[in-house]
Amino acid sequence: MKALKLIIFLSVLITSCNNNSKRYNGVYNQELKFFKKEFVKHMPRGTNESFSYSLTKSGEYGVTGIILKDKNDNKTYSKIHDSIIKVAIASYLPSDSCLLVINMFTTEKNLSSKKKANSEELKLLENDCLFDKLPVPSFLELEMEAKTRCKLPDSYELFVLEAKKGKYWDEKYLTDGQYMPSEWKHGYSKGIAFDKVNFDIIYWFKIW
């Protein structure tokens, strides 16, 4: 919970309940307007009665973006999953030995620190296995206590819908890129992750 207290200045975390789902949907939809439409067109505009989202509007903590976690029934989950498989440009598992994770060195302990890694840790960015990988987020803010590099449990599968290198937004929303491989110093990633056990779906957009 310490991490949540530190990030609260730049993020919003809302979990809806039955009585407030309509109001929270309205807040969430309003927050989406902060981003360019092309960045978040894959995000749902209405969610069910059990959802949460995390929003960051500054690169100070290593990335700007939004993550939404939505609970679904089996039928809805399968329909969305099958449609995304057809359009995804890459897929990964949290347990993959080589993942290009955005802001990969950020932990609860160094969240408020500008220094996220030492020289030895930075050598991980030079790993040849990262050459053909597309970036996916660290889901640290969801506090799922997973031990994988991307902080998601092994029951998830990640699908990248789009990822591009370069600067695509105002500098004030970007990072200095020091904790990414040189070819991905700046860029963005958007996609969807599916939990085959609990039928949860996580949508993301991240830019740095």
- Number of other CB atoms surrounding residue 3 within 10 Å: 17
| Per-residue pLDDT at 22 exceeds 80 | no
pLDDT per residue over 50-86, tens digit each?
Answer: 788 999 998 876 789 999 999 999 999 999 999 999 9
Q: Are 124 and 94 in contact (CB under 8 A)?
A: no
pLDDT value, residue 202: 98
pLDDT per residue over 25-47, tens digit each?
Answer: 888 999 999 999 999 999 998 76
| Per-residue pLDDT at 150 exceeds 70 | yes
Q: Which of 176, 206, 174 has the alpha carbon at shortest distance from 102? A: 206
Looking from the CA of 56 toward its CB, the CA atoms found within 13 Å total 26
pLDDT value, residue 21: 63
Taking CA atoms, 28 is separated from 69, 75, 109, 161, in Å, by 12, 24, 28, 21
The model carries a pTM of 0.87
Domain boundaries along the sequence of the chain: 2-207
pLDDT value, residue 180: 94
- 162 vs 114, residue with greater confidence: 162
d(C-alpha 120, C-alpha 143), whole Å: 26
208: tokens are 């740095």
User: In the predicted model, what is the mean pLDDT of residues 145-149?
Assistant: 93
pLDDT per residue over 158-203, tens digit each?
Answer: 999 999 999 999 999 999 888 999 999 999 999 999 999 999 999 9
Beta bridge partners of 179: none
User: In the predicted model, what is the mean pLDDT of residues 10-33?
Assistant: 64
- 148 vs 2, residue with greater confidence: 148
User: In the predicted model, what is the mean pLDDT of residues 102-107?
Assistant: 88
> Which stretches of the chain are DSSP H helices?
2-7, 21-32, 37-40, 74-87, 119-122
pLDDT value, residue 17: 39
